[in-house]
Amino acid sequence: MTIIGVYNIKGGVGKTATAVNLSYLSAKAGLRTLLWDLDPQGASTFYFRVKPKIKGPKKLARGERDAGEAIKATDYEGLDLLPADFSFRNLDLLLEDQKKPAGRLRKLIKPLEDEYDRIYLDCPPSISLVSENVFLASSALVVPIIPTTLSLRTLGQITEFLAGRELGEMPVWPLLSMADRRKRMHMAVLEHPPANAFETVIPYASDVERMGEYLQPVAEFSAAGPAAQAYQALWQELEHRLALAIT
């Protein structure tokens, strides 16, 4: 099983769209895939039409449910979702009273190892205990950034933060996302991409916005569009990198 964290400190960078489309393509290719919506805003959960469930406060506080019980099948064969409501109820509550809080997520994932080939983590922005958990659990980190100077700064912050942690060889791969070739600054960054960035660039495209309207991954409603094509290329590049990086 390979765990791919999709993360940025900053919000609004196309993070959820990346996680949703990559996990969808992964399942389409026949890999048993789970998308874990760790973001309390629950955008991934919304895209898959899964309704959050409200459970009694007692059960929630005791953290009785394990991840396996909360998983929901999506409309796509081979792709399951762990909804946001599970995450924000269980994770934050449990993180505090654990001895090694940063390893909690890894523990929750452990029983799912045999069930999935790929687990995508759609992470909340900011650096928190949750993101530290993500760093510890992930086999690789995909960091979507908008090609602007400010975004490059946040990338620097992330690498700096990770450098201070013992994370072994976890690769950090920037992904240039929402790129608009009409903008001069975008073009400048695209010409000099950050180290280890994916060759594939996700363009700014209205199809990505329309995911919220169709409640589907882009390839389901606009397979020939530039966004769908870009995600397909990105997924292939990602799998290629994973095969090389993780043995």
Among 1, 94, 215, 242, binds other proteins (CB under 8 A): 215
- Contact flag: residue 185 with other proteins (CB under 8 A): no
Contact 91, 104 (CB under 8 A): yes
Kindly state the smallest distance separating residue 236's Cβ from other proteins, in Å.
18
Per CB under 8 A, does 49 bind other proteins?
A: yes
SS3 at position 99: coil
152 counts as binding other proteins under rule CB under 8 A: no
Whether residue 134 contacts residue 5, with contact meaning beta carbons closer than 8 Å, is answered with yes
Q: Among residues 39, 80, 132, 207, which is the contact residue for other proteins, using CB under 8 A?
A: 80
Residue 37 binds other proteins (CB under 8 A): no
Q: How far is the CB of 5 from other proteins (least distance, A)?
A: 23
Q: Give residue 111's region: left, alpha or beta (phi > 0; psi -120 to 50).
A: alpha
87-110 exposure pattern, b = at least 16 Cβ within 10 A, e = fewer: bbbbbeebbeeeeebbebbeebbe
- For 22-37, give one letter per residue: b (16+ CB within 10 A) or e: bbbbbbbeebbbbbbb
Residue from the set 11, 12, 66, 75 that interacts with other proteins by CB under 8 A:
75
Query: Does position 51 bind other proteins by CB under 8 A?
Result: yes
188 contacts other proteins (rule: CB under 8 A)? no
- Total residues binding other proteins (CB under 8 A): 14
70 binds other proteins (CB under 8 A): yes
Answer for which of 11, 12, 30, 156 binds other proteins (CB under 8 A) is: 30
Q: Give the bridge partners for 164, in sequence order.
A: none
Nearer to other proteins, 76 or 161 (CB): 76
Report the site for other proteins in 120-149 (rule: CB under 8 A).
Answer: none
User: Distance (Å, rounded) from C-alpha 208 to C-alpha 21?
Assistant: 10
In the chain, DSSP assigns E strands to 2-6, 33-37, 72-73, 79-82, 118-122, 140-145, 172-176
Q: Which stretch binds other proteins (CB under 8 A): 2-10, 18-26, 70-78, 186-194?
A: 70-78
Q: Which is nearer to other proteins, 10 or 28 (CB)?
A: 28
Q: Specify the residue, 53 or 240, whose C-beta has the smaller distance to other proteins.
A: 53
Contact between 186 and 192 (Cβ < 8 Å): no
Q: Which of 71, 152, 162, 167 binds other proteins (CB under 8 A)?
A: 71
- Between CA 223 and CA 226 the distance in angstroms is 8
Token duo for residue 99 = 């001895």
> Least distance in Å: CB of 48 to other proteins?
7
Positions touching other proteins (CB under 8 A) are: 30, 48-51, 70-75, 80, 114, 215
